[in-house]
Amino acid sequence: MSLYGVNGTNFSSWCIRKCRPGLKSCRVFSRAVPQMPNFEYQPKKYLGPSYEKMQNIWATNIISAFAPHFKEPLLIHDGKMQWLFDHTGRRYLDMFGGIVTVSVGHCHPKVSEAAAQQLNTLWHTTNIYLNPKLHEYAAKLTSKLPDDLKVVYFVNSGSEANDFAVFLARLHTKNSDIISLRNAYHGMSYVTMALTAQSSWRNSLPLAPGFHHTMNPDVYQGLWGGSHCRDSPVQTTRHCDCKPDECNACDMYYGQLEEIFKYSLRAGNLAGFFTETIQGIGGVVQFPKGFLKKAYELVRTNGGVCIADEVQTGFGRTGEHFWGFEMHDVIPDIVTMAKGICNGLPMAAVVTTPALAQSLKGAYYFNTFGGNPVSCAAGLTVLNVIEEEKIQENAHVVGTHLLKKLAKLRDQFECIGDVRGKGLMIGVEMVTDKETRTPLPSNHFVDIWDDCKNMGVLIGRGGLYHNVFRMTPPMCVTREDVDFAVGVFEAAIQKHQKVFMK
């Protein structure tokens, strides 16, 4: 192991400020920081506004409803595959993927070429005309879904897709009640803010009516769950009485869903049941095995449709399956998708059955920018790259390797309460102690988070208490990359644990 530095040379700029350059060890960290993997790419020279001017523009001209990450926000200038570069040319391993959005790699050459070629051919028509890229992409995308999920409607964002899915469910069933899970995040429109059930994402205004939130089936922080309950290479360390072929936690959480039907819904008024297949912003929360399957049966028996939010889990990110719902052995009536669909270009989609789509015939429903030719060209190429470069397989192999390495850190450090996920959709929940599972306070979390950034690794953040590290890198990431990320993460925890574990 050697000390990390810019592009794998000597010391990060942060470490230089703490130690004397040229040392063979570092007094700040209890062990040497791993060396950054080599990457053959020269970032473009930054010619934009100064860092100070950017900060001033942010403070003066941009609505600051959400502050940039880190104590010293990054000015990201360039990106290539799993790597990002700031305005000084410093390199960072992107372990967050632009909030689970960069699926096959920053500026992937094939995707970039397809988008550029389409830009030089036709930018925009809207779908009042036939356009080859929209139709080619629609056929390719729907071929990736099972059974009768063959009709697609293109929109621009995950929030818009989820908003439309709620509208479609209500229109089709002629009912209004929608059930979602506590701790869920589904978007920031007027409708999806009501669908969302995290207090930090719900403004203090009257929200859209007709939404009910059932208990979140979280086998780590919830009332029930244990070491046999979730479909993951890594299980929670909570004690579990379940046998290999049963899940008591599933039955208990299902009982809570039945309570919603009993006490909160008006009989015959259910429109739909809306869930992520792994909760993303909620902290990469996985449900007990069998829960969604039983829930779908209950919903359909009561006249509702089942909606799978694949905005973060789709396009092979969970490794074993192309869609997250497949790990639950269910087939939804409506599937929403965005983020990784286009590797970062703004596009989203809602896929449903012909029968549900017929419900739209009563009035016009139109989206000016949905199915933009440039986005469709990029999206079509993303699907091809996933197949040709075995991106889904890489997510499974590298993600499982990463999960198992993080599980070893969980066993080593008292502050790591849980490691969970599938493929390259991974969460690490930080606590003050394993017994109480009390969330690690924000100031301690941010210290670790910032040090990872200073050592060249960018990790996301999530969970109701913002105490979950989210690792969702571009799916082209390598074993060597994630070994480096785990080494940096370990070094940051070692540095700070003596302070916050007192």
pLDDT tens, residue by residue, 88-118: 999 999 999 999 999 999 999 999 999 999 9
**Where do runs of H (alpha helix) occur along 302-372?**
354-357
Report pLDDT for 2: 31
Report pLDDT for 20: 31
Report pLDDT for 499: 73
Do the beta carbons of residue 10 and residue 22 sit within 8 Å? yes
Helix, strand, coil tally for the chain in percent (to 5): 40, 15, 45
Strand-pairing partners, residue 270, are 177
Average pLDDT, the chain: 92
Q: Report which secondary-structure segment, H or E, holds 442.
A: helix 442-454
Taking the CA of residue 289 as centre, how many other CA atoms within 13 Å lie in the half-sphere pointing to its CB? 15
Do the beta carbons of residue 217 and residue 181 sit within 8 Å? yes
C-alpha to C-alpha distance for 269 and 56, rounded to whole angstroms: 51
> Would you place residue 81 in the very low, low, confident or very high pLDDT band (cuts 50, 70, 90)?
very high
C-alpha to C-alpha distance for 180 and 196, rounded to whole angstroms: 8
> Would you place residue 229 in the very low, low, confident or very high pLDDT band (cuts 50, 70, 90)?
very high
Strand intervals (E) in 310-456: 334-337, 348-352, 416-422, 425-430
> What is the DSSP track for 91-104?
EEEESSHHHHT-SS
Ordered domains of the chain (ranges, CATH) = 6-100+391-500 (3.90.1150.10), 174-308 (3.40.640.10)
249-301 per-position pLDDT tens digit: 999 999 999 999 999 999 899 999 999 999 999 999 999 999 999 999 999 99
Nearest CA to 372 out of 350, 339, 349 is that of 349
Amino acid present at 491: A
The alpha carbon of 76 is separated from its chain's Cα centroid by a whole number of angstroms, namely 20
Report pLDDT for 21: 32
Q: What angle do CA 226, 228, 229 make, to 5 degrees?
A: 70
Please state the φ and ψ torsions of residue 258, each to the nearest 5 degrees.
-60, -35
Nearest CA to 286 out of 297, 277, 295, 294 is that of 277
